[in-house]
Amino acid sequence: MNSCFSTKRFLWLISCHLSENRKLYLASLGGLGFFLLYMAIIQERDNLLSGMFPVTFCIAGCLITANCYGKWSDFGHASSYLLIPATQLEKYLVTLTVGIVLFIPCFTLLYFVTGYLFRCIFHPPVSLMEMITGGYPVRGIFGGLMENTLLAYLLLQSFFMVIATRFKKLQFLIGALFVVVIFTSVVYVNLHLLSNLSHTVAFNYTFFMVGGPVGYYEIGAEGGTQTLVNVVLQPWVYNINKLVYLLIATGFYIAAWFGLKEREI
Number of domains in the chain: 1
Among the listed residues 12, 52, 16, 10, the one whose alpha carbon sits nearest the alpha carbon of residue 32: 52
Task: Provide the pLDDT for residue 5.
Answer: 73
Residue-number span of the structural domain to which 143 is assigned: 7-169+239-262
pLDDT digits (tens, 9 = 90+) for 77-126: 555 566 666 777 888 888 888 888 888 988 988 888 888 888 778 777 76
pLDDT digits (tens, 9 = 90+) for 183-240: 888 777 766 766 666 555 544 444 455 666 666 666 655 555 666 666 676 777 778 8
pLDDT exceeds 80 at position 263? no
pLDDT digits (tens, 9 = 90+) for 10-39: 888 888 888 887 887 888 888 888 888 887
Region 134-153 average pLDDT: 67
Q: By the 8 A CB rule, do 44 and 90 touch?
A: no
Q: What is the pTM of this model?
A: 0.79
Region 144-153 average pLDDT: 81
Task: Provide the pLDDT for residue 82.
Answer: 60
Task: Provide the pLDDT for residue 204.
Answer: 46
| Residue 32 resides in a domain | yes
| Residue 219 resides in a domain | no
| Residue 197 resides in a domain | no
Task: Provide the pLDDT for residue 216.
Answer: 63
The residue that leads in pLDDT, 242 or 234, is 242
Structural element, H or E, at residue 230: strand 226-231
Highest mean pLDDT among 69-78, 138-147, 157-166, 233-242: 157-166
| Residue 145 resides in a domain | yes
Task: Provide the pLDDT for residue 120.
Answer: 79
| Residue 59 resides in a domain | yes
C-alpha of 233 from chain center: 25
| Residue 159 resides in a domain | yes
Region 170-181 average pLDDT: 86
SS3 for 15-36, per residue?
Answer: HHHHHHCHHHHHHHHHHHHHHH
| Residue 117 resides in a domain | yes
| Residue 192 resides in a domain | no
The residue that leads in pLDDT, 29 or 261, is 29
